[in-house]
Amino acid sequence: MEKSVILSAIAVAALIVFIVVVQSNKGNHIAAEISADSNSNELTKYTVNYLDVFDTSTDITGFTNTQDEFNDEAAVIKEQLTYYNNLYDIYNDYDGMNNIKTINDNAGVAPVEVDSEIIELIKFGQDMYDLTDGKVNIAMGSVLRIWHEYREYGINNPEKASLPDLAELQAAAEHTDINNVIVDEKASTVYLADKDMSLDVGSIAKGYAVQQVLEYCKAQGMNNILFSVGGNIAGLGTRGDGTNFKIAIQNPDLESSEPYIEKLSITDGQCVVSSGDYQRFYQVDGKRYCHIINPDTLYPSETFAGVSILTDDSAKADALSTALFNMTLEEGQDFINSQDGVEAMWVYHDGTVVYSEHFEDSVIE
């Protein structure tokens, strides 16, 4: 049964021997791996951190027989993640590659031939638009670009920080019709029929990439690996001793003495993704405005401090964490209850926490 509680402080310090903390561009910190022992079996834990994919911190934790074996696996994972990073980039061009930026640059001009991974990402984005009744819309680039510019200027010039005019946002919203994203699978092309529209796949790209790389690793025979790409956490197999991976979700209250709001045990193939307002934001007249924009209001959502999704598909978790952040609690609860194998946790600004029916099944006491 769903319930609301005020979480008291959790004495995690005595339980944690090893913690890797990573920051998410979606606005969450998640401790990627918590170990209560040194793994006495044959496999040894190794970790590596990258800062040059998806403009965030990526941590890979693996349990292998040797350092060289882990290094080889980590190199393959980074190569795969870098490929998806470049494909889904909306800001940069890459030699010999048509990516999301290329599609945006050709809006209203011509279809762009792209790799199948872009076709599948966009189709997934269209599916998520339908599933969430528009709460996730990869065609909102024109609106999100305005907020990005105001946010960046406000961060760099806090005394001059301001909000976009509603009229400016409404004008941009006229160019966010996802039906104008034309995918031709036979020709492998994408065309934006509105010259003033643009794609922004930030709500799904990292999660989608993590899921694709996870499946690639599984097909290559890799095992016992935990990914954390900007806080998009996914596990393949188990820890070296056969136990589940353990992660901790950051407390959205950055002034709290308790750094983590909850600790979870995740099984093979499970993932956790959070969205929140406590990392990527700027302030105007002392009020915080986060990066998650509600398509209905065209302004940042303010109901929750954070929302976390637990499921077996990182791409879906990424999309749904954004969708629920843009819903009321009642809408979100009804939505989660309609989804098989998806659980959620909502955190209010006053510390109140609401769980979906089976989310707490994965909580570590």
Write down the domain spans for the chain: 4-88+203-362, 100-192
Tokens of 49: 């951190």
Question: What pLDDT shows up at residue 195?
Answer: 98
Question: What pLDDT shows up at residue 256?
Answer: 81
CA pair distance 139, 125, nearest whole angstrom:
9
Query: In the block, which residue shows the tokens 């005394």?
Result: 159
Question: What pLDDT shows up at residue 34?
Answer: 54
Question: What pLDDT shows up at residue 230?
Answer: 80
> Which of the four CATH numbers 3.40.50.450, 3.90.25.10, 3.40.50.720, 3.10.520.10 does domain 4-88+203-362 have?
3.10.520.10
Question: What pLDDT shows up at residue 33?
Answer: 56
Cα–Cα separations (whole angstroms), residue 148 to 13, 162, 172, 300, 320 = 37, 12, 13, 12, 21
The predicted-structure confidence for 243-293, as pLDDT tens digits, reads as follows 999 998 988 887 788 888 999 999 999 999 999 887 778 899 999 998 999
Picking from 231, 208, 28, 187, the residue whose alpha carbon sits closest to that of residue 125 is 208
Question: Residue 17: how many CB atoms within 10 A of its CB?
Answer: 10
CB of 35 closer than 8 Å to CB of 246: yes
In what side-by-side order are the strands of the sheet with 189-192? 112-113, 189-192, 181-184
Task: Give residue 318's Cα distance to chain centre.
Answer: 4
CA pair distance 80, 209, nearest whole angstrom:
9
Picking from 149, 135, 136, 49, the residue whose alpha carbon sits closest to that of residue 91 is 149
Question: What pLDDT shows up at residue 348?
Answer: 95
What's the whole-model pTM score?
0.87
Low-confidence spans in the chain with pLDDT less than 70? 1-41
The dotted CATH code for 100-192 is: 1.10.3980.10
Examine domains 4-88+203-362 and 100-192 and report if their fold is the same.
no
CA pair distance 150, 261, nearest whole angstrom:
31
